Every structure is written in C-alpha cells, then in structure tokens.
Amino acid sequence: MVVSIDSDEATNYNNHNGRATNLLRSIQRAALNNVTNTALSQEMNLNNSNISNNNNALTSFKEALPGGRRDASKIPQLKKRTYPEPADIHVLERTASTYTSNSIKSSPNSQSVTDSRNSNNYQNFEDKENIDPYYSASCTITASSDALSSIKEENEIENNKELMDETNFQPTQEDIFTRENETVAGQNINSNYNIITEEDDINKKRPISQIAEYNIPKKFKVCNENGEEEYVWEDLDAEDYNDPFMVNEYVNDIFDYLYHLEVITLPKKEDFYQHKNIHQNRDILVNWLVKIHNKFGLLPESLFLAINLMDRFLCKELVQLDKLQLVGTSCLFIASKYEEVYSPSIKNFASETDGACTEEEIKEGEKFILKTLSFNLNYPNPMNFLRRISKAADYDIQSRTLAKFLLEISIVDFRFIGILPSLCSAAAMFLARKMLGKGEWDGNLIHYSGGYVKSQIAPVCKMMMDYLVSPIVHDEFHRKYQSRRFMKASIISVQWALKVRKNGYDVMTLHE
C-alpha cells in the first residue's frame, strides 16, 4: 500500500527543525521493527493473533504519518496466507456464490460439478488447529477495507487461473453429486455427498417380499377318455418360484423319475417264499431293526432304505436262518452311510448284535450285498412321496405325524411287500386326514399324490385298518410311536381304528 501526502504539508514539515526529522525517522524505524517482529512471530506460531497485531501496527503507522511523501517507498507486506476468521464466513459464501454463477455462465454442463467442488473446498474454519495454512488462495478471507493492493492482485490472478481450469473441465457420469442440506438446532449442516447412477439403482437389492407377487394359483382340469372332468388341481409349486431349495423348475421331472424308479426297485413277494418261515422270521428281524434304528436316532429314510435293501437281497439269495441277522445289520449299516451325515461306527452295530456278528462279518456282508444288488441304491424313499402330498395338505404337522406312523406299517408288515411306495404314502395321508376329521380327498391331494383316486387307495387303506385292529406283533414299532415325540400316533391310530370298526363306519366316506 502506498501512503501519499500533499506538497503543502511536505513544505511545512521541511521548515521544522531537526527534532521533527529525527522524530519521524524514529517512528519509521520503530514501525518497521514492529512489522518485522510480527512476521517472524506469525511464521513461528501460525495463529490468528499475529494478524490482529499486524493490523494494529499498520493502523498506528498510518496515524503517526499524516504527512508522508507521495513517492514514499512501499512498506514491506506479508506474503503468507492468513487464516479466515469465523466472522468472515459470510464473505466466503458471497465469494463462492459469485464464483459459481460465473462457472455456470462459462460452462452450462458443469453446474453440479462446480457446486460440489466449491463445497468441498470449504473447511470448517472453527477448527483452527487442524486447518492447512497453505490451503488455497481462493480461501483467503480478508475484509475489503483492510486488504492491501498487492494481496488483492495476487488473489485475482489465482482466482482467474482456477476459474479457467474449472471452465475447461468436462464432467462425467461419476462426477455428478447430490447435495442434501439438513437443519439441526437452527444450524445448516452439509451432509455427505453420494454418487447416484442408474446402474446402482438397478442393481440395488430388494427384499423378496417386494419382488415376488403371489397371485391366485392357476387351476387345471383333468378329464377322462370321454372328456368328462374328473378333478381340478392348483399349481402350488408356483409359490416356490423364489425358493431354490424347492427346485420349482425341476420338481415335476424329479417325481416322474421317482415314479418310474419305484417300479424297478420294488421287491417281488413271490420270491420270498423260497425261504422257510420267512413271514415270521422277517417280522422278528424288522422289529429288531426298528429298535436299533430308534436307539441310534437315525433318519426315517435310513430305515426305509435298509428294509428295501434287505427285501431285494432276500429275493435274490437264499440265506440261512443264523445269518439273517447279519443281513439286516449289514443293510442298516449300508443305509446309514448312504443317508446319514454322521453314520454310527461299525463297532456300535457289532455291539448291538450281542456277539452274533463281528466287525469283519459285517464288512464282508456289506460287500456281498452291494455286489448282489449291483450297487443299485437308487430307492425312491416313501418319505419323498409323503412330503409331496403334505404340500397339498398345507404341511399340517398332525396329519404328517400320523401319516408317518401309518406309512411305516407298509415296511414292517409282510403283506405290504410288492405295493408301490407312492400308493402307500397316499393311503397313509388319506387315513391320517380321516382321523383328524379333515375334508375330502380333493383334486390337489389327488394330483400331488401321483394321481391316486379313492378307488385306487381303498385296498391299501383296508390293509392298514386290518393291521391296526389286529393283535400287536411289532411291539418295538408301536412303542416307538407311543412317545410324545411322535404325538402318541400309535395309540391314537389304534383307538380310532377300533372305534371305526366297532361302529361299522366306512372309512372311504367318513367325514364327507
């Protein structure tokens, strides 16, 4: 800043004596020393107090020299960028708005970019300890009345240079930001900046409840050869479209294959009669296998597979009576390794035979059985068909538990050999629903049972009713289902069957 005085005043000062000249020189020397000391203290401390001291020194210097020469030399000015005061933030906001309007006029496509970049350049000026002293010339805030000409010129040059850089900037899709302002306790707080693109909006994961829209299931009609309608069923598999474990796309093909496979793996009843007393011996062996199966806590599929392997082996090989227990133990050992996640050790199976079978005999029996059956263990388990029918029965736990007890009758009773597992599953569900007073055998139950109508399941239902009302032969089997774990299914079933037979009710038309 240049300090100037009039020529008349300079003439008056020249007429003064030497004391005035010495006083003027002393004041100048003191002012320069003060400025120099102020600059050194500012570089060491870097705080706002030095700015106020410097302004006070300049003010006192101007007051002390009311009559300096016009061509006086320029007083050295500080080149260090100063900190903005909190009170001057309104000046920054006014400068930012002017800068943004100029950027919009020069480059219309960079409106959102300049807004975001200007906002990012603002720092929290209240935090003076963490602020960068060399931050940017555009952030230098000084009152217009106190700003010196040299500092103004430097700021204008740097602002113009940054303005040209912003004008030449070409925004991209990733540079588009959105700014949200929130007002908390009367203060404006700038929220974080989030990049929003169409790809993020499309790939955003949504809950299944928003994606899946369950409509009324589609209905289908089944007609006979004459074109007469037999029953109507609903497509309940459509509800499992978003469930990968239900394999909605392949469920029909899977069960078509199981219906074909159950015919291949079905043992023939007439082949059993090559063994003497096979009926009684098999009942004893199956009752013991049910006991061991329940003691080990194995899956129901393991018991169904073990008895199927045993029946198929007995149809092909003639076995002595003393080796019959070895056949049953080996079959249960094979089934447990096939179905279970953690199969019991062979030592556990050998210990349950009370010395009748050793570990080596069980291993040899396992090899011989698998070789005889050609390692064909693809048995369509009846539990798979029962689960399929339970879908049409709304997965009722009581109906399913009673049906499991009735279905297990088909493997322990000798009379059920040669009957398809799918037909036994349909008859078991039919009787279980009758025990609970459920509705009739509708189209959904017919379709999801494999197409079995009441006339087809009636003979199997009669055989199950005969077993329930007859004297107990498989005591371990009944004891297993007398527990609370299975809702005392054996007790309920036997009492219900005796009551129906005593009153002479027709099971096929009961509760309809």
Task: Tell me what pLDDT residue 512 has.
Answer: 78
Residue 198 DSSP SS3: helix
In this predicted structure, which of 66-70, 187-191, 354-358 has the lowest mean pLDDT?
187-191
Higher per-residue confidence, 446 vs 68? 446
Indicate the pTM of the whole model.
0.59
Task: Tell me what pLDDT residue 416 has.
Answer: 96
Domain ranges of the chain: 7-64, 86-194
Residue 184 DSSP SS3: strand
**Distance (Å) of CA 318 to CA 324, 438, 449:** 10, 46, 36
SS3 letters for 64-89? HCCCCCCCCCCCCCCCCCCCCCHHHH
pLDDT tens digit sequence for 447-483:
999 999 999 999 999 999 999 999 999 999 999 999 9
> How far does Cα 54 stand from its chain's mean position?
64
What is the pLDDT confidence band of residue 400, given thresholds at 50, 70 and 90?
A: very high
